[in-house]
Amino acid sequence: MPGGIGAAWWEAPANSRAPGGDGRTLGWVTSDGVASLLAFDAPPRRDWEDLVRRSLRGDSPDTLVGRTPDGLDIQPLYTAAPADGDATGLPGLAPFTRGAGALPGRWELCQRHDLADPAETSAAIRSDVVGGVSGVWLRLRRPPAPGELLTALSGVNPAETAVVVDGGPWFAAAAEAAAALAAAAPPGGLVAGADPLGALARHGFLLRDLDETLAGLVPLVKAVRRREERDGEPPGPAWGRCVSVDTTAYCDAGAPPALELACMLATGVAYLRALEAGGLAPTRAAPHVELRLAATADQFATICKFRAARALWDRIQTACGVAGPERRGLRCWAVTSEAMFVAQDPFVNLVRATAAAFAAAAGGAECITVLSHDVALGPPGERGRRLARNISHLLADETHLGAVIDPAGGSWYVEDRTARLAEAAWERFREIEASGGMASALLDGSLADRCARAAESRSERLASGAEHVVGVTCHPPPGGDSEGAGAAPAAAPVAAGVPPDAAVTVPALPLRRPVPGEPA
């Protein structure tokens, strides 16, 4: 519906025009689908502008225009005019702006666990599985020792619960360990996800040189394809997406949505090139790529970011010659941004997480990970994990958000912002490619500089009061009245440090949380 979320007004057919009208009327659609019970002339935009000028005592309506961190203008009023000729398509069809699938459905509820002590991790995973999660994201903090994965995942049936083993810089070792488990497990969703460039950005090192590391994606994808053939699975199911493009590190370092999407495109293209060099054409490789994107409490920014991500990736697929059944919507996995979780008033993080999860679902994410509200204080406990997973349960089972395809679709504001965000992201992607690609941007520090500049700009907005973080820059909790009040951000690092035998090293992107007196 072109009028926005929940809008029931439509442009009436010619035979329902009110006598004496100018030819543009609106009619009310009843439950019977009968139009023209009420018809009237639509006021022209200039009437609204005249009223605004009077309210503003002569100032132009342009004074009401806002601006996003990406530099995109936010107009005070949106109408059908910018959407004329819109080509967002239909859900499940290219360019997949409106969704990767044509049917509504519940998203995968996937919770994150860091592999520290295997027995403790196993107990936490069991609790999540009993609590209703449908996926487990297991991150490694070091190379897995023999038997550690078996112990940690002992309470998971891969035929019922999808498992992604995220090896970070150790993805090759993680893939071997996961393959050994998968060979003995029933057909199902256990796969090792590899994102070497994302690991370099987050951890600051790779164990092999860059070319050798990227070449390591080839045997991983080929192994998954062999397993699909063995088990009779169609190419590229959700669990077969073994090449991850994780952009959360860039968002957490300060990158606004357009830059985050540009990093997604540049990383994805780098992986497709590496796979093609190893004998896997884009048509065979693209179905195994998935996106892990940050969801923030900025509702419309997140909705538009996920919608734009699918359209942008479809543009890449088209450029690479991917067609037929292999041309499909990018599987989008949303993770609530860790940088928006603060330590000073952690219960406010529950509101942020709910807004972010809602926006991710409304944007069409097929998988959502809600981080624990106390993640800024250290490893989450049982209560934090329960509250996190129940946010998804409430959104899916009580609000039935998953029963609606693209609920924001048709909103003139959402459609316009999605299109302009995609354009801005494409331009930034071209800049990264022109400077040598994603690997070069990480190695020469130019991407880190761009993230730092964006973070500094936000710091200035927070310091000036143009932007607020509740519980930190405004309305701080009284001392001792809130769990964690006054505590410094102390999230456990994913990796213990750079190993001495690392082949490639760069400064790891920082996790930037706003704290009192230092809002950056």
Helix (H, G, I), strand (E, B) or coil at 11: strand
Given a contact cutoff of 8 angstroms between Cβ atoms, the answer to whether 132 and 108 are in contact is no
User: Which residues are CB-contacts of 35 (< 8 A; sequence separation ≥ 6)?
Assistant: 10, 12, 13, 16, 27, 28, 29
Q: What letter would DSSP give residue 116?
A: S
Domain extent listing, the chain? 9-80, 108-424
142 torsion bin: left (phi>0), alpha (psi -120 to 50), beta (else) = beta
Binned average pLDDT, 10 residues per bin, the chain of 520 residues: 37 41 45 54 84 88 91 90 67 91 88 94 96 95 87 87 92 86 66 93 96 95 80 52 95 97 98 97 92 97 98 95 82 96 92 98 96 94 96 96 92 95 98 98 98 91 81 71 44 62 95 63
Hey, CA dihedral for 259, 263, 266, 268, is it positive or negative? Answer: negative
Q: In terms of Cα–Cα distance, which of 154, 155, 195 is closest to 175?
A: 195
pLDDT for the residue 180: 78
Hey, CA dihedral for 136, 128, 202, 259, is it positive or negative? Answer: positive
Query: Do you know the residue count of the chain?
Result: 520
Place of tokens 């004074």: 63
Q: pTM of the predicted model, to two decimals?
A: 0.87
DSSP letters spanning 117-170: SHHHHHHHHHHHHHTT-SEEEEEESSPPPTTHHHHHTTT--TTTSEEEEE-GGG
Alpha-carbon distance values, 484 to 47, 260, 338, 346, 391 (Å): 52, 30, 16, 7, 21
pLDDT for the residue 184: 63
294 torsion bin: left (phi>0), alpha (psi -120 to 50), beta (else) = beta
pLDDT for the residue 399: 94
Which helix H or strand E contains 292, and what residues bound it? strand 289-295
Alpha-carbon distance values, 51 to 25, 310, 501 (Å): 21, 39, 68
pLDDT for the residue 473: 72
262 torsion bin: left (phi>0), alpha (psi -120 to 50), beta (else) = alpha
Helix (H, G, I), strand (E, B) or coil at 511: coil
CATH topology of domain 108-424: TIM Barrel (3.20.20)
Q: In terms of Cα–Cα distance, which of 173, 107, 92 is closest to 140?
A: 173
d(CA 339, CA 354): 15
pLDDT for the residue 490: 37
pLDDT tens digits, one per residue of 466-503: 787 887 777 777 765 445 444 444 333 444 588 999 99
Alpha-carbon distance values, 323 to 10, 51, 99, 316, 345 (Å): 35, 51, 18, 11, 49
Q: What is the 3-state secondary structure (H, E, C) of 340-366?
A: HCCCCCCCHHHHHHHHHHHHHHHCCCC
CB atoms within 10 A of CB 350: 19
Pair type for strands 9-11 and 25-28: antiparallel
pLDDT tens digits, one per residue of 235-290: 434 557 899 999 999 999 999 999 999 999 999 999 999 999 999 999 999 999 99
pLDDT tens digits, one per residue of 124-148: 999 999 999 999 999 998 888 888 9
Reading the block at residue 359, the tokens are 């926006």
